[in-house]
Amino acid sequence: MTAKIIIENLIKIYGKKHLAALKLFRDGKTRDEILQSTGNVLGLADVSLEIGKGELFVVMGLSGSGKSTLVRCINRLINPTSGHIYIDGEDVAHVDEKRMREIRLNKISMVFQRFGLFPHKTVAENVEYGLKVRGVEPTHRRQKALETLEVVGLEKWANYQPTSLSGGMQQRVGLARALATDADILLMDEAFSALDPLTRGEMQDELLRLQKELHKTIVFISHDMQEGLKLGDRIAVMKDGAIVQLGTPEELVTNPKNDYIKAFTEEVNSAQVISVGSVISKTVSLKIGQYSISSALEQMLNHKLQVLYVVDEYNKPIGLVKKHHLEGSLKQGEEDITTIMETDFPRIDISAHLEDIFYLYKQGFPLAVVNDKKEFQGMVEAVDVLTTLGRPSINLEKTNI
């Protein structure tokens, strides 16, 4: 993964005695000790991380954890006290204000929590504002605004005032305004927290849809763990200005670093986070044309299996066979495996979440797991899923297929 943003040893101290406070921090003093000695607040405590190009990176934490300070340092709405922020290799923490304005105009867009729309301008005028500031001529910027409104499904509202739109629609306008500039980096500071739960969920889905199409580098700030787990490719959880744990949603849920992370994730529905790849059973398969019924049965007995999947020459699953069917056919002298191969079977992508696969077990088969090339990777049985989630197996034993 190519790094788009690299943050190194970033420190932010709020207050007039920031140099004294910085020395105390480097001497190992805590946030509370620094506050007591200087009256200054440690906003960021030596933060280092990399954000990949095209990554949707979530920063989480409670109020005062430093998450908003971090995102606002990236576009220098807040100036860091010390450290480096590299965007495409350029240290924006130390460029002059003229250069920083150019970077904001061309490389970074921001979506705010409270929409930040101009009430006296139309929806289209709001969307084209960034282009106007950049000096784009009126006809071109209007065309770009209308195209972007179409992307977020608001083209019919172009000539309306923002106050005539719902909260969710207004946030779509804010998102369209950020997208219209074609900036590579999108900063979103609690962008959906002012919305009602239903609208918030819709906006999360909309963001994921747009990200699949546009592949922006997105830094998304949130205090809601469920939101972070849904959206983030990776998540950094902050406390007292420092990163407590950084990892994928699945890593945070299955391997929390400490009690602080556990408290964040304890109410999470883990089935929405854990991937099929985490519970897959690597197993043998039968290549079509290379196995008879007797040799297939020998494979099953050797590996203590009740079911085997059959794959084609490209290792793509095309059917499955069951042990008791093989035994019955062998008694009848049958050797052609295709005569008992079942071709109506469930398959699932290795990156899918466990919540997405429960309904597939209605057919009574272990699921064939495939990669993005549709190649066979292994099987997942209902009992494996339930064990992973810490639930009783409820009559879904491996022999009941």
Q: What is the C-alpha separation between 72 and 69, in angstroms, rounded?
A: 5
pLDDT digits (tens, 9 = 90+) for 132-177: 988 899 999 999 999 999 988 889 999 999 989 988 888 889 889 9
pLDDT digits (tens, 9 = 90+) for 340-388: 899 988 889 998 888 888 777 766 778 999 999 999 999 988 877 877 7
Q: What is the CATH number of domain 3-107+183-268?
A: 3.40.50.300
pLDDT > 50? residue 401: no
Select 277-388's CATH number: 2.40.37.10, 1.20.1250.20, 3.10.580.10, 1.20.1440.230: 3.10.580.10
Q: How many helices (H) and strands (E) does the chain have?
A: 15, 16
What DSSP state is assigned to residue 339?
A: G
Higher pLDDT, 264 or 188: 188
Sign of the alpha-carbon torsion through 85, 91, 94, 99? negative
Owner of token pair 């993005």: 372
- Asked if domains 3-107+183-268 and 277-388 share a fold, the reply is no
Question: Which pLDDT score is estimated for 353?
Answer: 87
Beta strands at 376-380 and 217-222: parallel, antiparallel or unpaired: unpaired
Closest by CA position to 247, among listed 379, 112, 11, 49: 49
Domain boundaries, the chain: 3-107+183-268, 277-388
Question: Which pLDDT score is estimated for 115?
Answer: 66
pLDDT > 90? residue 11: yes
User: Cβ(371)–Cβ(356) under 8 Å?
Assistant: no
Mean pLDDT of 300-311: 89
What DSSP state is assigned to residue 194?
A: T
